[in-house]
Amino acid sequence: MMEYFAFMSDPAGWVALLTLVVLEIVLGIDNLIFISILTNKLPKERQKFARQLGIGAALVLRLALLFTISIIVQLTEPVFELFGHGYSWRDLILRAGCSSSGRRPRRSTTRSIRSTPRRQWSAAPRS
C-alpha cells in the first residue's frame, strides 16, 4: 500500500501531480465551455439534463482514460526481443502512438511536392 504514496517523498512526483491537476482543471473548463455551447441549441427544458449528462460522461471518460494509462505504464515485461532489445506492450503502444501522430510526413505527400515542377509554385506569369 505504501508504494502508491512513494511519490510524496519525491519532488518530481509532486511536480507530476501538480501538472496532472492543472491539466484536469484546464480540460474540465474546456469541457464546460464546449458542452454549454452545444446545449444552448436545445430547448430550455432539456438544457440542464444535457449539461449534466455531458459533464458526467466527460468525467467518466477521463477517469477511464487515466485508469487505462495507469495500466499501460505497468506493462513493462518484455514480450519479444529484436536486435538485442526487449519490447514490452508499453513500448509497442507508445511507438504506435508516435507513428500515427503525424510526426513524420507521409511518403505520398513528400513525393508529390518534390515531383511538382518548380515553375508551378512561382507567382511569376508564364511566357
Average pLDDT over residues 98-125: 53
CA angle 83, 84, 90 (to 5 degrees): 90
Mean pLDDT of the chain: 78
pLDDT, one tens digit per residue, over 16-57 is: 889 988 988 898 898 889 999 999 999 999 999 999 999 899
pLDDT, one tens digit per residue, over 63-102 is: 898 888 888 888 888 888 888 888 888 888 888 877 666 5
CA distance 34 to 56: 14
Say if residue 3's pLDDT is above 80.
no
Confidence of residue 125 (pLDDT cuts 50, 70, 90): low
